[in-house]
Amino acid sequence: MEAVNGEEHDMERRLSKLLEESVVSRPQSEEITSKCCGGKGKDKGQGQPERSAGEVAVAKTKASCCSGATNGRKSDDELREDIKEYYGKIIQKKEDLQTSACCTEEKFPSYVKPLAGMVADEVASKFFGCDFCVPDVLENTSVLDLGSGSGFDCFIISQLVGETGQVVGVDMTDSQVELANKYTQWHADRFGFEKSNVTFHKGYIEKLDEIGLDDASFDVVVSNCVLNLSPDKEAVLKEAYRVLRTGGEMYFSDVYALRRVPEKLKDDPVLRGECISGALYWNDFITLARKVGFTDPRVVQSEPYIVNDSLKDKLDGTTFVSTTFRLFKVSNLEATIEDYGQAVKYKGKIFSAPSRLVFDRDNIFEAGAVVPVSRNTFRTLRASRFRSHFDFYGCCSKKHLGPFARSQPLTI
Ligand SMILES: C[S@@+](CC[C@H](N)C(=O)[O-])C[C@H]1O[C@@H](n2cnc3c(N)ncnc32)[C@H](O)[C@@H]1O
């Protein structure tokens, strides 16, 4: 017990050191550049025989701003290195995080709890997702997890796709990929599979082509609390779009800001690592998703993202939410939601949604009920893996009835 408390104190010390020294505590970006380049010798850790992980991270942050940074800002590579450091060395378990980044297992739907219980404790202890992001209807599908971490979501999905399905995880942090790989066969044995259906790759989610992931090779892309960490979110979304088959979807949870995050916060290794300062303002995310081809982003659910008091002071009142979106790769969708008098009936045959299917916040289908839907929803359901679970009415309707009344405006 004492050892555990000791570890906690050690972690607190490392984090508070990072917080004290993080760049946001300095007023101007110009000052950051000159201080970090001119002030190397004043680095607290210098000359010390050993440094804590927090000190290493800070020292690295300071050194890196002298190479390749422009206008006092870190380069994309430097931002990624900070994140590798954060998830590879600084954050060792969920409790080390200073936000509600971790989705607790109580939030999982009841059918998932036993599947989560099958996952190795060591893998579960390094689950750093911000929500539950496993969609319905995964049997026999191929699923890609962007930023798969220790593999927790992948090993749950492995059970849902079954032995004939396939799961691929991609992550850039060595220790996370090593841990996930260590348990691949262990889980296959536990699930009674002859051969594992999960593979993990070390790589960047902005460059899936570099690890050989082909165009149109996945039915579903998932991701849990990762996009915000990427310095090039457009590249990630483009890659997700490229590797999806037509009718496939990206179903993912992430953190969004309710207003644009001030530039001066963006390089802070702690705020970035905690999934805060890299977060997109939600409306900017929607614009970006549409730009790469995901024309009709859908909010599944959204809730406040809680930030500890120690970090709140730095945020200038910016607040955050954790939101699950689903983005379908369907080519004939419109940017606006239109009514063509069409309707659908959910048959109630999806095992995880026997009485009602929550497709998104605006489309909740009770089994057996005929429900009016927009043309986009109609086309999306028909083009996707949900098709066989619905009856469709008014397929050929060409009569436009005006805008379809969404029950909620597209906000999060
Ligand atoms: C908050 S953790 C979430 C991990 C996992 N999805 C989970 O739910 O436990 C973020 C993960 O994303 C990975 N990551 C962040 N940016 C990445 C990038 N550009 N390419 C690949 N992996 C990245 C990190 O290495 C880390 O393992």
Task: Show pLDDT as tens, one digit a residue, over the chain (412 residues).
Answer: 333 344 444 544 544 454 444 433 333 332 222 222 222 232 333 333 333 333 333 333 333 333 344 577 888 888 898 888 878 877 777 777 766 655 566 678 999 999 999 999 999 999 988 888 899 999 999 999 999 999 999 999 999 999 999 999 999 999 999 999 999 999 999 999 999 999 999 999 999 999 999 999 999 999 999 999 999 999 999 999 999 999 999 999 999 999 999 988 888 888 888 889 999 999 999 999 999 999 999 999 999 988 888 888 888 889 999 999 999 999 999 999 999 999 999 999 999 999 999 999 999 999 999 999 999 999 999 999 999 999 999 998 899 999 999 777 777 7
Evaluate: CB of 153 within 6 angstroms of ligand 1: yes
Evaluate: CB of 204 within 6 angstroms of ligand 1: yes
List, in sequence order, every residue forming a beta bridge with 393; answer none if it has no partner: 343
Evaluate: CB of 135 within 6 angstroms of ligand 1: no
Distance CA 227, CA 209 (A): 18
400 contact partners, CB below 8 Å, separation of at least 6 = 338, 339, 340
What's the residue count for the chain? Answer: 412
DSSP states of 160-189: HH-TTSEEEEEES-HHHHHHHHHTHHHHHH
Ligand 1 pocket test, pick from 171, 176, 221 with the greatest ligand atom count within 8 Å of Cβ, gives 171
Span from the CA of 171 to the centroid of ligand 1 (angstroms): 6
Q: How far apart are the first and last CA of the chain?
A: 42
| Cα maximum dimension of the chain | 76
Span from the CA of 87 to the centroid of ligand 1 (angstroms): 8
Span from the CA of 129 to the centroid of ligand 1 (angstroms): 9
Q: What is the pLDDT of residue 85?
A: 82
Picking from 210, 243, 408, 389, the residue whose alpha carbon sits closest to that of residue 327 is 243
Q: Rounding to the nearest 10 degrees, give the CA dihedral for residues 115, 251, 201, 180.
A: -30
Of all atoms in ligand 1, which is nearest to the CA of residue 129?
Answer: 8
Span from the CA of 102 to the centroid of ligand 1 (angstroms): 13
Q: Domains of the chain by range and CATH?
A: 2-43+53-94 (no CATH), 96-328 (3.40.50.150), 336-412 (3.40.5.100)
Evaluate: CB of 146 within 6 angstroms of ligand 1: no
Cα–Cα distances (Å) from 240 to 214, 249, 395, 407, 412, in that order, read 11, 9, 29, 29, 22
Of all atoms in ligand 1, which is nearest to the CA of residue 153?
Answer: 8
193: tokens are 């599979």
